[in-house]
Structure formats: C-alpha cells, structure tokens
Chain A
Amino acid sequence: MLKSTVASLKTYPAIPIIVALAVAFSLLSPYFMTGGNFEAMMGANAVVLIAAIGMTFVFLIGGIDLSISTVISASAVISGIVMAQTDSVPLGVLTAIVVGTGFGAVNGLLIGYFKLTPFITTMATQLIARGIAFVLSHGIAVKGTPYWVLDFGFMSWFRIPAVTIVGLVLVGLSVFALSMTTWGRQVMLVGSNPNSARYSGINVPFIEFTVYLVAGVLAGIAGFISIANLGNAIPGVGDTLLLMIIGAVVLGGTAMTGGEGSIERTVLGVMLLAILINGLNLVGIPFYDQLIIQGILIFFGTWLAMKFSGQRSQ
C-alpha cells in the first residue's frame, strides 16, 4: 500500500498538492466545490491545457518552445480576421491550424535540421508571432466573430464545456501517440539519450521537427479556442500565458531536460494551477498577490516534483 502510494507520487507528484488545495479552498469558500464552479474552471483553462500538451512534447525531447504563447495570439488574430471576412467557421479553424503549423514547421526546421538553439530560435519566433498578431489586429480585439463560435464557447455537455472536450480529445490522441506508437517511443528515447537514439538509427532531426510541428499545431488550435472563450481574437491573449504553460508542465512532473514525463502529468499540472487561480479568486486575493503565490508554488512544486521522481536536475 505504502509502496504503491510512493510509486504513484513519483509518477504524479502534483496529486498531493491538488488534494491539499482542493481541501483548503472548499473550507474557505462554499462555492468552490460546486458543479458550476468546476465547469467554469475547466472552460477557462482549455487554452492552457491544449498549449501545455504541446510544451510537454517539446520538454520530453529536452527542448523548449517560448513561441507557443504568442503563436496562440497570432493564430487567433489571423483566424479571427478570416472569419470576420468570410463568416466561415471551418475556414477559421483551418486558418488557425495552418498558422500554428507554419510556426511549428519553422521552429522545427531551424532546430531539428539547422541545429539552432531552441531557446533563441523560439524567442525570435515568439517576437515575430507577437508582432504579426499586433500588426494585423492594429493592437485591438478583432471584431466580427461568427455567432456559432460564441455559442460554442458557452456550449456544455454533461457540465463539461465543449472547449474542454476539445482539449480532452487532444489529450487522448497525444497519450495514444506517445505511448502506443513508434513515433512516441522515439520521442522518449531522443529525450532521454539523444546519442543512443542516433546510434539506434532514429532520425533525430525528423523527430525534433515533428515535435515542434505538433507544438505549433496545438498552439494554433489553442488560438482558435481562445476566440471561443473570450468572444474575440485578442492580440495580447498569449502574452501572459507562458508562465502558466511552462508552470503547468513542470508542476505536473515533466522534466525540462527530456525523457521524463507524460501528457497525463501535464493534465494534473494544469488542474493544479487551475484550482489555485480559481480558489484564490474565490477567496478574493488580488491579482498581484496571486502572481506571488503562483511563482512560489511553481518554484517549490517543481522542486517537489524533482524530489519525488528522483530527477537529478530540472
């Protein structure tokens, strides 16, 4: 019993913190443990969930993608403009995915095949994506979102918001891709030991390329979901998300150094941050104190995750 508990803590170090936070907040606020609140919480965090899946893949190969946050903005804005012009939702979805794929492909080519440093490359594409989002939108929310998209943002199915269902479907696909396919096994091997991956005949540049590509696609989808959530494509939507996305992945227990982690862990990491922010809002903590608490939690949560899973360093 104890042994299996310890083992599951190693795999899911976020669970004890989630339980502690849930207990604390349900004592502090009667509204916390209600279906309506959970529904709102899930809907509000769908964008972070989808983006964090992409970041998990990138972390698993030992990389980083700083551009995910603003690719969300760029794809939202471009998709928003296309939908405002054509009033076609499918075209909007397609545009968001294409924009995300484009950025992912550029990152993947430069990092995988051209061997540029992931940090600088994605820092540069982060700036470019942000610039594109602001130039095309003139710095303001894009008007003219089709009604269907607005309705979609409010849709729920058995109290699970539609946007969250999209996120969960993507989680399912990603879990499958990572654990059931050759590609997934190669991703894990590239992350844990790039040299032995190379010697065992894995096309490492190709795996790196596909991982950044997937991260881009997911950022594009997250961008579209942000329109449904907020009602408009906002050029600054991604600016503040980087901390949340990276925080969720490391709090879940996926190491930045590669080879250690999973999509399931990231789902828990997203839950953890979602509960934290929701609870702090319910208790009436102002946003700046939330920033302090978030920072402290991300730091010590990462440290705990490292301790539990016996990683040498993040």
Chain B
Amino acid sequence: MNINRRSFIKSMALKSAVAAAAALFPGISFGAWKEADFPSGMIQWKKTPCRFCGTGCGLLAGISGDRAVAVKGDPNCSVNKGLCCVKGYHSIQILYGKDRFKDALVRKNGKLVKVPVQEALDLVADKMKENIKDHGKDSVAIYGSGQWSIADGYTASKLFKGCIGTNNVEANARLCMASAVTGFMTSFGLDEPMGCYDDIDHADVFITWGNNMAEMHPVLFSRMLANRKSKKHVKIIDFATRTTRSSQASDKSILFRPQTDLAVANAICYEIIKNKWVNWNFVKKHVSFHKGKTNIGYGTQDHFKFKDKAETVDLNKYKAFLQDYTPEKVEKISGVSAKDIKYMASLYGAPDKKVTSFWCMGMNQHTRGTWINNLVYNIHLLVGKISTPGNSPFSLTGQPSACGTVREVGTLTHKLPHGVVMKEKDRKMAAKIWNVPVEKIDPKPTYHTVEMFRALDRGDIRFMWIQVTNPMVTMPNLKRYREGAKKDGRFLVVSEIYPTPTSDVADVVLPSALWIEREGFFGNSERRTQHNEQIVPMPGNTMCNTWQLIEVARRLGFKKQFPWSRETYIEDIWNEYTRFHDSPKHRMAPYKVLKARPGVQWPFVNGMETKWRYNPKYDPAAKGDDFDFYGKPDNRAWIWLRPYEPAAESPDSEYPFWLNTGRVLEHWHTGSMTRRVPILHKAVPASYVEINSDDAANLGITNGSRVKITSRRGSIVMIASIDGRGRPPRGMVFVPFFDEKYLINEVTLDAFCPISKQPDYKKCAVKLERA
C-alpha cells in the first residue's frame, strides 16, 4: 500500500507539472510521459470548487476511506480546465493541521477551556439575549466573510436582519470588494461583471490595473499567457505601482505614483476623444453623463457620514472636465510619461482590438475606489468595448464567495438578499420569504465594517459573532480595534478552524467544519455558483457554520423561521434563498443542476447560462437590438466626472515612504490555513518588507537585515527583501500581510472610500530605520 501510495503521489506531482506546462505552453508535448494507471477503487474523485481565491477553480478531491488524499484540477470546469495553482494543489492539506479546533472553548478565569458544543451554544444565545435586553438590538452584531458559504451568509442575514431586527451584519468583503460593488452600482445600477472568463480567450489586449494576477489569480493569468502564446499579436500591459511577477511576464510594464490612476484614467479618456476614437453610435444610444460630489473626505473620524449626489451633465461639460487631464499635465502628477498614456489610450481606442481590463485590490482598496472603478468603465464605454466577447472591464474577486455570499446574499449593513433595507418593497419581499413581520426589518443601515469595529471599541456594540475571518490581523489601524475587542463588557464569539489572533481574544470559540467537510455553495468572480457536497466527515465536535447559526436562532425563539432538518437544510436554504432572485436579471440555477455541474453562471434562464450581460444576443433580460443597460432608470450606462484627489496620507519629510500591503502566491490572506501546509509554509515561512535597492543602499540596509517600519499609528520590525520577487520603486515599501507574527496592520491607516466604505491598505506614510 505504501509503495502504491508513494507512486500515486509521484504520479500526481508529475500530472500537476504537465497541467501547469500545458497552461503556459499550449500544444506542448511530453513524449516520455505516460499517465500511470492505478487500481480502480483506490481513490474516489469528487468535485468541489477550490477553497481559496475568487477565481473559482473546479477541483477533484481524491478520497480514500474517510480522508482526502489527493487533489487535481477538474477538466470539466470551464474556469480552470484542469489546471490549479500551487495553493489549489495543496488545498486538501488545510483540513489536517495538527492544532485544528475540534471542540468548543469557553473563556473561564481568563483561559479558554473545553466545553460541550451545546453548552457553548447555550452561552452564545444567553449572551445575545442579555445584551439585547440590556442594551438594545443594535448592541449585537455578526461579522462574516467572503469565505462564508452562501448558506452561512443567508442564515446570518435572516437571523440578524429578519428575526433580531438589527442591520449589524457585515462581512470582510467590505475590505476587499465594496468599491467594486459601488462602482458597478453607480455606473450600471446592478452589481457584478457583465463579462466572464471567456473574455480571456477572445481579447487582443489585456490591461491590468494595479493587479498582480501572476500571484493572486495565477490560473487566469495562465489563460492570458496561453492566449498570447496562441495569437502572436496579443499584448499584456501591466499598469501598477510596483514591479511584480506580472510585470515580468507582461509586454510592457508602466509604473504610476500611488493614487494617480485616477488622473491617468481621465487622461486616457481625454486622448480617446481628442483622437476621435469614440464609438459615437454606442455613446449616443447607451451612455449618459453624470457628476458627483468632490472633496469627499477619507472617513478617518468616528461617525463619518457621506452621501453622494448625482447631477446629470452633457458631453460638453465632460469634455471641459477632461481639459485638466491632458497626458502632459498627468505626466507631472502620475510619473507616467505622456507617451505611455497615449499608448494605453491607443490600445483602448483601436477599433480592431478587443480589450479586457482586469483589476482587484489595487483599485478597490483605494480611498477613491468607487471613482477609479467608474473611470475605467468610462474608458470602455467611450469606445463601446463592453458586454461582447473579449471586451470587458472586469473586477476580479479575492475570496471564493465574496460575490456569492456577500454581494448576492447581501451580508452588508444596507443590503438584503434582494435590494436594500432602505426600500419598503425590498423589506416586504424579505419579510414575506423570511416569515417575519415587515416592521421587524429596520429601514436604517447601521455600521459598515470599520465603523462596526469602532462601535465595538466605543461600546455601542457589545456582542460580536465572527465567522470565517480573522479581523485581528486584517483590520487597518489594528491596535485600536484589538484593544477595543478586549475591553470589559465586550463578548466575542469566534467560529474558527485554527487558533488565530482573533480566536485569542474570543470569549467563546465554536469549532467549525471546513469546506468539503460540509455541504455548501460558493459564488465566484464571473457570476458562477458552485456547489460542493460533504465529501469527508467533520472531525471531532466541529459543526457547520450554518448549523451553528440555526442552533442559536432556535435558542432565541426563532424555530418557525429555521425549521429545516439536519439532513436537508442546505438544499432547503438554497430553495428559499433563490426566491429572492426569481427574475431573468438574476435567476439562479436549481439545486439539482448545481449539484450535477462544476458551476453555473447566473442569470440562468430557460436552462441557459448568461455569459455576457446587457447584450440581447447573450442576455435574456436585455431588450432591443444591440445593448440594454437595464440596471439604470434611463437604460443607459453612466459615465462619471470623477477628478483626481490625493490619498488620505502621503509621504512627507517625517514619514517619507509609501507603505503598500498585499499578498503572495503561496499564502491565503492571513495564512491561518496555508501556513499549516508544510510545503507552502516552507516556500514563504515569514513575511518581509520589500525595499527598493537604491533606498536600501541610502539607509544602509542589506538583504535579510532587520528594518523598523514606523507610521503615525505604530511600528514593526521585519526582515528586508531587496530585489526579490517584487520590487517597489524608490520611495515605496511593500509588506505581505499573511504572517500573524508581523501585524503590519498595526501600521496601516483606517481611511476608506466615502462611497464604498472600503479601507485603503495600499497607501499610508511610513519611515524606515535599521533595527
């Protein structure tokens, strides 16, 4: 058996290499490679979406007995066509870390001690009741995740918004996708991309905006490379603030100063108009022009409020607005040469080129995140390159169900599964489906994520349940929020799989079942819903997050609203949830269809998936003969006049460097799972600070030496990386945030986009010293 198992693992290793090579070099052949034939019955393969990023790769998990022993890409999944990245290939190992939570823990005399799960759930329900009685319904909150399964988020929203009556529901997707949502809503009136990953196979030009896809979305990056390999004219332009692996693989790397992407996007539009590259047929028929408020602030004070107001303007006003953004003027702001700005404009403007723009955290974690999303849509709308194969402005997601759970289910303070709490008809729909009185659903949103943690610090919130996320690593300006969470009179419940800095401050830890240990659904970046069945048993006393919520809901007296049996509750929840989306604009696939396929794209109408929205050729909800932007009341997509405004905090004489934070290929977000996979941990065992070699030389810092990074909020000592995989320009440092030993968010700033309320983790001012 050992010999067989070893041979099997070696065969998997070789298969992985073949798949990776095939993605990078389409048509590659290996004459000496013969696929090993293993005895049937040794391994059973079961489909599941990957647990990690928002790409939504289809995997096949190999099961032997009760244990997952292997993983490979699902060749039937159109997302990855059999390919995986290094995290995907090691994904099953996240199930088997040695320090997995398998029992409930309750803090007694300052220490977390084991208790029966039912006792812990009793305590959670009692504390909720006590706080609601003593401090009101808005003193309790739930903070979830873009890694929540759809059923988790739906159950949380129903319990908190429908039954308890508080809008204190947020999720960590506020930290990663909120600007994409408000960008879509303000430009198109409906959330989520119009295009899909098939755009990668059709595009002639790819422009990535502050997006290191080679590390963050490696499978999609491989598809881009494969397209370029098969068609010699295809170009990849990396437009970013630092040089990365994506820059190295691109045809051209263009660096801009942080925050000035706003100015460059406007300059591209200026050039498109000046050179008569505008698609006037499209613009006259399908676009309207609008202006919003300016000098909108940064949200760094408690109780910050902002509401934008749209004013309709005409084309002449838009042209006049763009006069401030000639390439020559913008060169001075951005550091991007006028020549390069004109080159990018010419790519967007060329009538015979299909252009896809990709972005992720660089544009979304931005104090003008909504604006920069609007501005990239402006470019595509001016040239009419949208909603057709290969022409796609595409916001990629970072988490496996940021779209499916947070954006579609609506686990944000202002949202409902359909619509928003502020609208009566949306509240009525929710009340009817949830079987609660409509008055129970509060019409006023409460706290977005940053303000929710501020409220916990202030004592306005006193009970918080955190599921599937690690805010004591990820919150910006972290010290304030960690100290706040530890104050007397606060009660924290953490549903987790491994110990984290967040479970360290918990009063109750509920041991969660993970990924293929339970049934669930994710929703990826391209509107694809993906189902996984329970493939392996739950270890110890772990429990599915959805079921934890149901258990507590029943203890709070809401048995009528949560009547489902343990055998069928995931299917029952799906059937109830999809009643919210029963229209051609957002119809979801039935449970049986999702169970059978490696994902289905919504709207799913008359048995057909929708690949490109707003185009009647592909979208059953679109009317007319070419495009129909049905999300907006004027049936048009909106071009916005959004100016360049500086970052909340910029380098100065005291703090002369930009601090930029982000991720690395091998680790998933805060590393609570991937650091427990030996091979991934060994590949990148600790975080580090990337420093430009000239800056390092000036400061006397050498590769591997210790550096103290200090901002107005805190400081940290880390190891320097000079000319490593990422190279920042002079005046910038970059730190990956995956390592809880180096809490870089004690240094970052909690400024956010006033429209989306998404914090900017890419820009604050720091100083460096040798340590």
Q: Does B bind A?
A: no
Binding site for B on A (CB under 8 A): none
